[in-house]
Amino acid sequence: MQCKKIEVENFRNIAHASVEFGPQVNLLLGDNAQGKTNLLEAVSLMALGRSFRGAKDADLIRFGQDKATIALDYCDHIRDMRLTATLMAGRRRKMEQNGLPVAKMSELIGGLRVVLFCPEHLSIIKSGPELRRNFLDVAISQLKPVYMSALGRYNKILKERNRLLKEASESEDARRIMQDTIDIWSEQLAKEGALIARYRVQYIQKMKQAASVVFLDMTGGGEVPNFSYVGTAHLDCEDDYLDTVKTEKAFFELLTTSHAREVGAGYTLWGIHRDDIDITLNGVCARLFASQGQQRSLALAMKLAEGEICRESCLEHPVYLFDDVLSELDVRRRDYLTSRIYDKQVILTTCEPSEMKRMGDANVIKVQNGTFCAL
Ligand SMILES: Nc1ncnc2c1ncn2[C@@H]1O[C@H](COP(=O)(O)OP(=O)(O)OP(=O)(O)O)[C@@H](O)[C@H]1O
Ligand SMILES: [Mg+2]
């Protein structure tokens, strides 16, 4: 899989840019605040459908303008594709694939597959569970568009159910309405949740293999990592979550027998929105006991495993997007990472000209005040 070219108009600080990428390492080099991450954000937006910095479309449009456009040419082993997006403040984004309108993001996702790696991901081990769930969501959505659709439905149902619970905690009338209607939402939530849980378990089981291989290779030591799914349906073991009928039943039971507790909390207490991944090193909790360096190695192993799982699934490498990660790593990990990616397509940002030498024959693109110029 290869990104060939991106053309951007009025996106963030980029008034106009047309940037061609080489098949291997592409280095976006420039001082702080010049637009390096902005360009990477535009590429990943076309793959993942949203800004990895969590920005709304209105914030992505260059200050003072009313729309932004992005056109991205990429190819996989079968065909050439052109994706275009027009972002307008307060209006629905318009997207096209090879000139044909795309109604939903789930129609697009999984076309261009990327592994995005930014400094925030280095704290995936010690951060809260949200970052780990996000890791799973981004990775699985690209492999299984049905996962993304299920997640979209789940989040809508959850919002409605939480609204009912919150209102019920505030008035008697609302409490009665909640009693009459909530189980319809619970049923749907349990159904979508069970499907999502199954995909997550399957993914984590693959990651367990792939990340362990990378980790052992990187550290050359005897420490063995393990990754396991932490669900909230009170099932006995991870494998039980592979049975969607069992999981759905368990979720439904929890959701229908705990209204009082949930009204007290004001939100839904059980479901995949509270999942986590348990990560251990030599059997002990990595979040609590692993050193900073070990945690970084684990994070790196998870990201490289994500790329490997993607390759196994679609039989070609994804495009790696690295935002400023090299400067966050020590020489050993940096060298390991470089050795793993030099033969794949990588677009990486850096402020350090010394990276140019280390990357050998990288395609270097100088970034200055929103302009991009191949060196
Ligand atoms: N909607 C927007 N319109 C215009 N400029 C914007 C907009 N959003 C962000 N910017 C500006 O874009 C500039 C470049 O941002 P970017 O994050 O790409 O920098 P960078 O080159 O990655 O820098 P660093 O090395 O510090 O990470 C920032 O100064 C920011 O203020
Ligand atoms: Mg940046």
117, 323 contact by CB (below 8 A): yes
Q: Are residues 150 and 234 in the same domain?
A: yes
Select from 294, 317, 340 the last residue of a domain: 317
Write out the H or E segment, with its range, that includes residue 209.
helix 172-219
Please give the Cα distance from 97 to 81 (Å, whole number): 7
327: domain CATH number? 3.40.50.300
Burial status of residue 130 (CB atoms within 10 A of its CB: 0-12, 13-18, 19 or more): exposed
**What are the pocket residues of ligand 1 if the criterion is a CB atom closer than 6 Å to any ligand atom?**
12-13, 30, 32-38, 59, 61-63, 324, 349, 351
Alpha carbon of 359 to ligand 2 centroid (Å): 19
How many domains are there within the chain?
Answer: 2
Regarding whether 308 and 177 lie in a shared domain, the answer is yes
What's the CA gap between 295 and 153, in Å, rounded? 34
Does one domain contain both 179 and 262? yes
CATH number at residue 179: 1.20.1050.90
Distances (CA, A) of 95 to 59, 92, 116, 314: 18, 9, 21, 24
Residue 215: domain span: 121-317
Q: Are residues 81 and 206 in the same domain?
A: no
pLDDT per residue over 12-39, tens digit each?
999 999 999 999 999 999 999 999 999 9
Domain co-membership, 329 together with 362: yes
Whether 279 and 374 map to the same domain: the answer is: no
Which residue's alpha carbon is at the smallest distance from atom 12 of ligand 1?
A: 13
Q: Is the pLDDT of residue 360 over 90?
A: no
109, 128: one domain: no
Tens-place pLDDT, residues 116-159: 999 999 999 999 999 999 999 999 999 998 999 999 999 999 99
Q: 275 and 194, same structural domain?
A: yes
Q: What is the pLDDT of residues 283-309, one digit of tens each?
A: 999 999 999 999 999 999 999 999 999
Mean pLDDT of the 81-87 span: 96
Please tell me whether residues 93 and 198 are part of one structural domain: no
Distance 324 CA to ligand 1 centre (A): 14
| CB 88 within 8 Å of CB 9 | no
Q: What are phi and psi of 278, to 5 degrees?
A: -90, 120
Query: Does one domain contain both 147 and 136?
Result: yes
Q: What pLDDT does residue 28 have? A: 96
In this model, does residue 193 exceed pLDDT 90? yes
Same domain, 169 and 134: yes
Same domain, 284 and 160: yes
